[in-house]
Amino acid sequence: MKFPAYRPRRLRRTAALRSMVRENALSPADLIYPLFVEFGTGVRREVSSMPGVFNISLDQLPAEVDELKRLGIPAVILFGIPSVKDEAGSGAFAEDGIAQQAIRAIKAHAPEFTVITDVCMCEYTSHGHCGALDEHGCVMNDVTLEMLAQTAVSHAEAGADMVAPSDMMDGRVGAIRAALDAEGYAEVPIMAYSAKYASAYYGPFRDAADSAPAFGDRRGYQMDPANGEEALREVALDIAEGADIVMVKPALAYMDIIRRVKDEFGYPTAAYNVSGEYAMVKAAAARGWIDEKRVVLETLTGFKRAGADLILTYHAKDAAKWLKEGE
């Protein structure tokens, strides 16, 4: 029998050969760590549905940042957990709000460390929706745009390096870009949650951020999981309005969307490896059903292969440690 001249197995024979022809390389520099911050002192409370993830208080931030820097993780995305919520979500844009204080604390300790802030209202509103509600309980798009723009400016004033609107209101990137530019923050980039789906994978996050809707759900403004073409339209709109980075969220069930976004636009693309994806891996690993290290690194590499330039993930610390062990 005549065999083909090219035999792929030749280059799989040893670890060194596999490394030499590897098409995608995962690095700690690709990772962004989500951080939940609340008021108080000495708080380091593990999220029950997210083993290894903690809600921390402001005084814990320096040590947290130092650990991330040692691991080579270049950035965090901040989620502020207010002590008081109201109908208007006023804590989101308060000068002394939790996110604003967290930004200042990190930048005072490590000015060079990159701070990205989630810009949304759901953590701050008493009803848990992502904006102001009308008399029928529906989110009012244009009123919410003003709140989001005010929030983004307050984050920039506090020292944020980048803002990341996650609300999925129509026109919010343009409104935020215009507000930042008008207030002298033209150099602050926007990472838009451009294709954010109404996903069942968000449950553990809502435990951490205490942001579950008090009634209804968010399918009226987040995307239908069945739609792919719509994601491309959403991304195109955000780019036209001034987004510097576009994001697909969740990541694991939406690798096809990541690939299509990257191929269509060639823009810096982020993937959010969300809480439910993280929790499933942790639960299976705790039962000895999977090799956690291999599954995590394989999954994160999959996001890279799909086209993600940046990966927001709760696995960031563990992944960075494992990657460093392999150097």
CATH code for the domain of 190: 3.20.20.70
Confidence of residue 1 (pLDDT cuts 50, 70, 90): low
19 located within any domain: no
pTM: 0.92
pLDDT at 210: 65
Residue 32 one-letter amino acid: I
10 located within any domain: no
Q: Higher confidence at residue 261 or residue 92?
A: 261
Least confident of 115-124, 171-180, 215-224, 284-293: 215-224
54 located within any domain: yes
Confidence of residue 212 (pLDDT cuts 50, 70, 90): low
Least confident of 8-12, 107-111, 213-217: 213-217
15 located within any domain: no
Confidence of residue 216 (pLDDT cuts 50, 70, 90): low
pLDDT at 213: 65
Could you tell me how far CA 235 lies from the centroid of its own chain? Answer: 16
Nearest to 35, CA basis, from 81, 80, 78:
78
pLDDT in tens, 287-314: 999 999 999 999 999 999 999 999 999 9
CB 3: neighbour CB atoms within 10 A? 6
Largest CA distance in the chain: 77
- Which of helix, strand or coil describes residue 57? strand
Q: Which helix (H) or strand (E) holds 270?
A: strand 269-273
CA distance 231 to 153: 27
Q: Which residue has the tokens 């838009």?
A: 192
pLDDT at 221: 73
Residue 85 has pLDDT above 90, yes or no: no
Least confident of 79-83, 160-164, 171-175, 209-213: 209-213
Tell me what the mean pLDDT of segment 117-126 comes to.
Answer: 87
pLDDT at 3: 65
CB 146: neighbour CB atoms within 10 A? 15
Residue 166 has pLDDT above 60, yes or no: yes
Tell me what the mean pLDDT of segment 88-117 comes to.
Answer: 94
- Which of helix, strand or coil describes residue 37? strand
Nearest to 36, CA basis, from 47, 21, 25, 26:
47
CA distance 201 to 29: 25
pLDDT at 218: 65
Residue 214 has pLDDT above 60, yes or no: no
16 located within any domain: no
Buried b (16+ CB within 10 A) or exposed e, 56-75: bbbebbeebbeebeebebbb
CA distance 314 to 252: 13
CA distance 258 to 168: 17
What is the count of structural domains for the chain?
A: 1
CA distance 290 to 302: 17
Least confident of 45-54, 135-144, 178-187, 237-246: 135-144
Q: Is 85 a catalytic residue?
A: no
What single-letter DSSP state applies at residue 287?
T
Bridge partners of residue 54, in order along the sequence: 46
Name the catalytic one among 2, 69, 107, 196: 196
Name the catalytic one among 85, 107, 249, 282: 249
Nearest to 148, CA basis, from 115, 126, 172, 181:
172
CB 110: neighbour CB atoms within 10 A? 16
pLDDT at 148: 95
Q: CB-based contacts of 113: which residues, under 8 Å, 6+ apart? A: 65, 68, 69, 74, 75, 76, 106, 107
Nearest to 79, CA basis, from 101, 49, 104, 99:
99
Q: Half-sphere exposure of 276 toward its Cβ, with a 13 Å CA cutoff?
A: 12
Confidence of residue 325 (pLDDT cuts 50, 70, 90): confident
Least confident of 156-160, 216-220, 223-227, 240-244: 216-220
C-alpha dist (Å) from residue 327 to 30, 95, 263, 269: 16, 43, 31, 26
Bridge partners of residue 248, in order along the sequence: 195, 271
pLDDT at 86: 83
Confidence of residue 209 (pLDDT cuts 50, 70, 90): low
CA distance 181 to 209: 30
Q: Is 69 a catalytic residue?
A: no
pLDDT at 30: 97
2 located within any domain: no
68 located within any domain: yes
CA distance 14 to 26: 19
Q: Which domain holds residue 71?
A: 25-325
Cis amide bond preceding 250, omega within 30: yes
Q: Which residue has the tokens 């109908």?
A: 87
